[in-house]
């Protein structure tokens, strides 16, 4: 009895131990309140590491006590910002381990805290719910996590490597997802026999989109965008592992999917992308365009701006809306991004408690507003304050690239402290056209770039050693 009580106390202690979240403060009280609310929700959704599945957080409908592939792929950066790295590694690994030939190289779409496929989405290996974007989305998430954390296990772990290889080879062949098969593939490849049109676990066993309300769906443009980014992610992984030849081949294959998006799916008359194609050979519009931007699958800036205008003029469910702040910050629509953060965290917003929302808000504030972008492959961290004029903001205890940093911003000054031991390249960026930027009062010539909305950005690059603080300023 004493041993059992001790084990229960240890499990409870492990569950309630404080994580090491990044702490955000700002003179913009609305943004600080948004971050604090999001952090409290992330803590609420952290699972008990003593559960059979291991360390986890909720990434599905909360009543299910589970995590699904799309939501996890979207929530991982917010999770690592809040210190949930063990959870990320465990959940990503669980998805990778459960792909199988019997499921046509699918995994379990949703896994619950018991380490089992959630019964809401799975009956057996021939009858289950699965959106085909999922494998490529998890693959891309692994690359993003490596870029953010510097943790090479995301790109070298044998289980993940097997998942990557199966996804870009067997999975594509099994589901007829080659670039020249996207519009001619069967509507229900690998259908169970006998096939029951009234059984969702038959009809939705391999949905070719994240958008689930289109009858007789043959292909969604979001799936093509996800494949494109998944292949580019694996190409980058292979390059980082020294396999340049295979990386180049994958990059060429990825380009064929992007060409399909631009050449087949753009509706010139309506100046927008079609989002779905059905079994009757008809294109149509609906949700899904957000993934063209999320996966950076457009090359034409005029078309991407038109897509942003379409999205910001529409009303979307909270899942789709949660993608918008990071996208809009990156694309140069900074005030609009702030408005969406406030909308997502407004108590009057329906379903704001859906887990994706809080994780997305953390990411939007750190990556978007604070402009912090680690790049493990380049051993570089970018900063760019996108806050309002006259405001200030600071972030401390942010763990990136095997070190910990603190960043404080005003529109004219950024102070970066490397509180860890690792050295990295700092790309200190500022809004506006500036000829020079001062680093610790040393004047350096600045370079310029322009974002998709025409905002001029000036920057310099400088090495930051361990336990050092650098001060970047513009102006006299």
Among 276, 297, 325, residue whose Cα is nearest residue 227: 297
Q: Are residues 307 and 445 in the same domain?
A: no
- pLDDT confidence of residue 126: 96
CA distance 319 to 235: 28
- pLDDT confidence of residue 9: 31
Model confidence band, residue 6 (pLDDT cutoffs 50, 70, 90): very low
Number of C-beta neighbours around residue 346 at 10 A = 12
Residue with tokens 């650098």: 470
Q: Are residues 290 and 162 in the same domain?
A: yes
Q: Are residues 82 and 172 in the same domain?
A: yes
Average pLDDT over residues 121-143: 98
Average pLDDT over residues 335-344: 98
Q: Are residues 275 and 155 in the same domain?
A: yes
Model confidence band, residue 476 (pLDDT cutoffs 50, 70, 90): low
> Which of these three, 314, 330, 345, is where a domain ends?
314
Asked if residue 11 is part of any domain, the answer here is: no
State which residues form the domain around 422.
Answer: 380-474
Model confidence pLDDT, tens digit, residues 395-405: 999 999 999 99
Q: Write out the DSSP string of 156-177.
A: H-HHHHHHHHHIIIIIHHHTT-
Q: Are residues 308 and 401 in the same domain?
A: no
Bridge partners (DSSP) listed for residue 276: 220, 284
Asked if residue 268 is part of any domain, the answer here is: yes
Q: Report the chain's mean pLDDT, rounded to a whole number.
A: 94
Asked if residue 2 is part of any domain, the answer here is: no
Model confidence pLDDT, tens digit, residues 172-203: 999 999 999 999 999 999 999 999 999 999 99
CATH number at residue 177: 1.50.10.10
Asked if residue 327 is part of any domain, the answer here is: no
Q: Are residues 70 and 191 in the same domain?
A: yes
CA distance 133 to 106: 10
Q: Are residues 292 and 418 in the same domain?
A: no
Asked if residue 58 is part of any domain, the answer here is: yes
Asked if residue 40 is part of any domain, the answer here is: no
Q: Are residues 177 and 303 in the same domain?
A: yes
- What pTM did the predictor assign? 0.94
Q: Are residues 132 and 274 in the same domain?
A: yes
> Which of these three, 291, 314, 337, is where a domain ends?
314
Chain center to CA of 139: 11
Q: Are residues 159 and 284 in the same domain?
A: yes
Asked if residue 236 is part of any domain, the answer here is: yes
Phi, psi (rounded to 5 degrees) for 13: -60, -45
Angstrom CA distances, 321 to 41, 186, 243, 341, stand at 17, 31, 38, 9
Q: Are residues 79 and 161 in the same domain?
A: yes
CATH number at residue 434: 2.60.40
How many domains does the chain divide into?
A: 2
Tell me the percentage of the chain whose pLDDT exceeds 90: 94
Q: Are residues 218 and 138 in the same domain?
A: yes
From 18-27, 266-275, 348-357, the region with the lowest mean pLDDT: 18-27
Model confidence pLDDT, tens digit, residues 375-425: 999 999 999 999 999 999 999 999 999 999 999 999 999 999 999 989 999
Count the helices and strands in the chain (H runs, E runs): 16, 23
Asked if residue 409 is part of any domain, the answer here is: yes
């Amino acid at each position: 009895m004493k041993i059992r009580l001790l084990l229960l106390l240890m499990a409870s202690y492990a569950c309630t131990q404080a994580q090491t979240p990044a702490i955000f403060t700002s003179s913009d009280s609305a943004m600080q309140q948004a971050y604090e609310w999001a952090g409290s929700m992330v803590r609420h959704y952290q699972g008990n590491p003593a559960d059979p599945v291991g360390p986890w957080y909720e990434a599905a409908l909360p009543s299910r006590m589970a995590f699904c592939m799309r939501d996890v792929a979207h929530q991982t950066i917010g999770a690592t910002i809040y210190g949930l790295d063990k959870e990320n590694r465990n959940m990503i690994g669980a998805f990778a381990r459960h792909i199988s030939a019997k499921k046509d190289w699918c995994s379990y779409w949703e896994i619950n805290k018991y380490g089992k496929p959630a019964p809401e989405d799975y009956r057996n290996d021939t009858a289950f719910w699965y959106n085909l974007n999922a494998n490529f989305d998890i693959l891309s998430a692994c690359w993003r996590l490596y870029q953010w954390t510097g943790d090479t296990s995301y790109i070298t772990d044998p289980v993940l490597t097997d998942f990557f290889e199966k996804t870009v080879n067997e999975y594509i062949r099994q589901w007829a997802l080659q670039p020249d098969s996207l519009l001619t593939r069967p509507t229900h490849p690998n259908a169970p026999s006998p096939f029951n049109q009234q059984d969702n676990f038959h009809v939705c066993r391999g949905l070719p989109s994240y958008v689930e309300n289109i009858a007789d769906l043959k292909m969604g443009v979001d799936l093509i965008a996800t494949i494109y980014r998944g292949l580019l992610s694996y190409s980058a992984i292979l390059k980082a592992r020294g396999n340049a030849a295979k990386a180049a081949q994958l990059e060429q294959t990825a380009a064929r999917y992007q060409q399909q998006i631009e050449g087949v799916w753009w509706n010139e008359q309506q100046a927008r992308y079609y989002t779905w194609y059905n079994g009757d050979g008809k294109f149509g519009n609906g949700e899904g365009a957000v993934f063209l931007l999320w996966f950076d699958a457009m090359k034409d800036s005029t078309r991407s701006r038109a897509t942003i205008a379409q999205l910001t003029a529409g009303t979307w469910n909270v899942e789709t809306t949660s993608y918008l702040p990071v996208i809009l910050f990156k694309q140069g629509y900074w005030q609009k991004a702030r408005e969406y953060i406030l909308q997502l965290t407004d108590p009057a917003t329906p379903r704001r408690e859906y887990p994706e929302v809080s994780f997305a808000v953390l990411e939007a504030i750190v990556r978007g507003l604070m402009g912090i972008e680690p790049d493990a492959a380049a051993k570089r961290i970018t900063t760019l304050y996108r806050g309002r004029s006259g405001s200030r903001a600071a972030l401390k205890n942010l763990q990136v690239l095997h070190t910990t940093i603190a960043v404080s911003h005003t529109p004219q000054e950024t102070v970066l402290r490397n509180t860890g031991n690792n050295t990295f390249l700092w790309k200190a960026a500022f809004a506006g056209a500036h000829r020079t930027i001062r680093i610790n009062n040393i004047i350096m010539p600045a370079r310029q770039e322009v974002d998709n909305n025409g905002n001029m950005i000036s920057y310099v690059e400088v090495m930051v050693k361990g336990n050092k603080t650098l001060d970047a300023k513009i102006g006299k």
